Chain A
Amino acid sequence: MTDLNQILSIGKSALLAQQRAIQTTSHNIANANTSGYTRQQVNLSTRPPVLTAAGMSGTGVQIVSTERIFDPYVDAQIVDQNGAVGQWEAMDQTLAQVDIIFNETEGGGLNSAFSAFWGAWQDLANNPGGAAERQALLSQSGILTDNFNQMAEDLNQIQTDLTTQIGLAVGEINDMAQEVADLNDKIFRVELTGQNANDLRDKRQLLLNDLSRSIGVEVTENGSYAEVSLGGQPLVEHDQAYTLSFSDPDFEIDTPGGPVSVPAGSINGGEVAGWLAARDTVIPQYQTQLDALAAGLIAAMNTQHAAGYGLGDDTGGTNFFSGTGAADIDLNGAIVADPNLIAAAGDPGGLPGDNQNALAIADLQFAQLLNGGTQTLDEAYQSLVVEVGSDASQASARLDNETALENHLFNRRQAISGVSIDEETINLLKFEQAYQAASRIITTADEMFATLIGMI
């Protein structure tokens, strides 16, 4: 009788095992398109054999574990790669905006404004007494200064926007860190009872990827916990998340031991790193050069202009531009109010035919005023445009590279942990057949019982 019971028991173990296997397979199929899902596999093994009169006898099948198929090394690489992609995405987007500021292909722009400005001075040289020429010069000069002002403002605005974005990102980072801490706690509790926390771990891994995308964190596996740190300082410890705040230009983490500073330079990846680099390193380079261009123009123009005389003027010494850099360069208000102060004449008295100073000023176009006397104003601007275009193009190329690497890692992870519907479908068939066979065992045992009882 015990043998018959044994057979029933074996049949039951088979039914349950195959049923669980089908459940896991169904779970896999259901999540075939779920982002970050790691396929699960049921590990079957034989139940411990028992000693019978006829020797050791098998007792059926049991499920040892439902295993999550993954490679922790690949997962760690993906976290890092997310940081790299985030960083270069941020840089690429920002530089694309700067690219637009310096883009003159549709006309307008500083290059043509400069040319028109010098042309207006030449026209004035041809007719220094002409009121129309003076007006035209004022108009062109206004366009030139407006261009400078606008570009400086646009660059500034980008920086302001980046600061805002970083502030917003910090809010999201804190939310994500808190979720990671919560998941750490749940996973720990579940795994403490010996159960698997597969789906929770998938969720946490996704969060870590997103977190790294946003700001380059370091993740260390510690049993059930994922410890997250930023620039060497703890952000998530066990089930506690510490608040990150942005104290421009560095960051601060509010740890139990007091606030800790995370310098901007110690953040190695993520969008935040990209934004910071763009705001504090790359854009300032452009601003410096633009300001140098404006300052060079202002200095050279004012010196030469002050050396000349306006129409009917005996004193001279008037400045043409006011301001010190690209943001505040403007026409001298006195000249706008009285265009006759424009110093076209070279000799005191400012005779209407005296164009000596106007010629000298027009010649500034070809004077090598900048970069230690090696570049004209036009050339200096054109060099700046090359720099902007190069940086933008390089950021784009770098982003493509990092994205390609990300795709490669994605494929690697998929090869290990991804769900193949064909594969799972075959598994379904496999387990279903075994289930059907197991039910046969039970009916067979049942018939054997009936036969036995029928004998009584």
Chain B
Amino acid sequence: MRVTDQQIFRSTQNDVLTARNRLFEAQKKVATGRNINAPSDDPIGMKKVLGYESSLMSITQFERNINFGKSWIQTAEQSLAHADELLTEARDIAINQSSQHFDQDTRDSAIKIVEGLYDQLMDMANSRLGGSFIFAGYNNETQPFERDSDYNITYTGDDGALGLRISENSTISLNANGEEIFQIDDPGGGAPISVFDLLRDLRTALQNDDLTGIQDQIPLLGVVKDHLQDVRAENSGQHLRMGMTEAHLSKVRLNVENSLSDLQQADMASAVLELQMEQTAYEAALSAASRVFQQSLLDFLN
């Protein structure tokens, strides 16, 4: 086949330009450190990259939620643990004062102590986490427990449970129902009894020298302690569950980050090597081009 000068020139030009283009692509890879620089580079890969990035952002959010949940439960736990101590003290007083031995002074201080315990218990029930009351249900910007001068308690919260999403497949419900937490079922089958009412009744019994009344509170206080124990156990279970989810999320995060990196992160060593190769190929193309143009018949004619 005849080969003409224009053919040679154009072909050489194309080859040089192609080599230049490949060099440019290799440079881009090294400069950005990324394998995929546009959806058209690798459409399916791009989809995966977007998916992985979404997942990572979701995981970060779940971790935030879990941190919040754990703080909440830790605050609740501290409050309830202290409440337990207060109730133990109340029960001890009840036991002490329920004997026949009557001493007006100790009686008086017992009443004072019980009043103090009542108020401290109220503080615990009005615990806050970052400005919101944790035992007020959904009405968490209003103090849930208030008492009057006769130590009657009122609860202004509601029964709302705080939901929390800790992973794509699971949510947690935090028990914020102050009313339910600080009350027990009546063993006699009547309406539920508020813990605060127990203390109020103890105080009243002490004031009235009502030995039977005092004695009645002792088992009830025991039931309260058991009930609080149950609540704390439940919270503890939630905490455990969150911890396990957190650990799991950590592993998932690692996997996703690895997959993302494999896909998107240009292996620097091989990218630089490729750059070298393309550079060499480009120089070879240029050199070949210069040789092609050197000679024609005219060089040999006189």
Contact = CB atoms under 8 A, between A and B. Distances in A.
B54 A111 contact: yes
Contacts of A415: 1-4, 7
Nearest to A115: B57
Contacts of B7: 410-411, 414-415, 418
30 contacts: A102-B39, A103-B37, A103-B38, A105-B36, A105-B37, A119-B60, A122-B64, A126-B68, A352-B140, A353-B136, A353-B162, A354-B160, A356-B160, A379-B51, A385-B43, A386-B39, A386-B46, A387-B43, A389-B39, A390-B40, A407-B14, A414-B3, A415-B2, A415-B3, A415-B7, A418-B2, A418-B4, A418-B6, A423-B2, A426-B297
B132 A353 contact: yes
Contacts of A392: 38-40
A418 B58 CA distance: 64
Interface stretch (B164-172, B198-206, B214-222): B164-172
Nearest to A417: B4
A426 B42 CA distance: 53
Contacts of B42: 389
Interface in A362-416: 362-363, 365-366, 378-379, 381-383, 385-390, 392-393, 396, 407, 410-411, 414-416
A114 B54 contact: yes
A355 B5 contact: no
B6 A419 contact: yes
B192 interface: no
B176 interface: yes
Interface in A107-155: 111-112, 114-116, 118-119, 122-123, 125-127, 129
Contacts of B32: 105
B203 to A, nearest CB: 31
B3 A352 contact: no
Contacts of A429: 301
Interface string B163-200: 11100100100001000000000000000000000000
A381 B53 CA distance: 13
B139 interface: yes
Contacts of B10: 407, 410
B3 A389 contact: no
Contact of B58 (A115, A123, A127): A115
A411 B3 CA distance: 8
A126 B171 CA distance: 12
B44 interface: yes
A319 B298 CA distance: 83
A386 B44 contact: yes
Interface string B53-65: 1100110110011
A422 interface: yes
B165 A122 contact: yes
Interface in B280-302: 296-298, 301
A99 B1 contact: no
A425 B139 contact: no
Contacts of A411: 7, 11
A99 B40 contact: yes
B14 A115 contact: no
B138 interface: yes
A359 interface: yes
B268 interface: no
B158 interface: yes
A158 B164 CA distance: 44
Interface in A82-121: 95-96, 99-100, 102-105, 111-112, 114-116, 118-119
Contact size class for A?
Answer: 35 or more
Contact size class for B?
Answer: 35 or more
A421 interface: yes
Nearest to B32: A105
A126 B58 CA distance: 15
A354 B138 contact: yes
Contacts of A378: 50-51, 54
Interface string A303-320: 000000000000000000
A420 interface: yes
Nearest to B61: A119
A307 to B, nearest CB: 16
B1 A351 contact: no
Nearest to A105: B37
Nearest to A390: B43
Contact of B132 (A99, A127, A418): A127
A378 B49 CA distance: 12
A100 B64 CA distance: 33
B38 A389 contact: yes
A99 B301 contact: no
Interface in A337-356: 345, 347, 351-356
B47 interface: yes
B166 to A, nearest CB: 10
Given A32-B5, A119-B58, 7 more contacts: A119-B60, A382-B50, A386-B43, A389-B40, A416-B2, A418-B5, A421-B296
Nearest to A392: B40
Contacts of B58: 115, 118-119, 365
Contacts of B41: 389, 393
A340 to B, nearest CB: 13
Contacts of A355: 162-163
Contacts of A96: 40
A33 interface: yes
A352 B39 contact: no
Contacts of B50: 104, 111, 378, 381-382, 385
A392 B140 CA distance: 54
B4 A419 contact: yes
Nearest to B157: A353
A129 B140 contact: yes
Given A353-B160, A382-B50, A421-B298, A366 B61 contact: no
Contact of B163 (A359, A385, A420, A426): A359
Closest A-B pairs by Cβ, 10 of them: A389-B39, A418-B4, A389-B43, A353-B140, A115-B57, A392-B40, A351-B138, A354-B138, A353-B138, A393-B40
B297 A352 contact: no
B279 to A, nearest CB: 23
A425 B297 contact: yes
B164 A125 contact: yes
B6 A115 contact: no
B89 interface: no
Given A123-B64, A127-B132, A418-B4, A386 B139 contact: no
A363 B165 contact: yes
B34 interface: yes
A407 B6 CA distance: 12
A351 B158 contact: yes
B226 interface: no
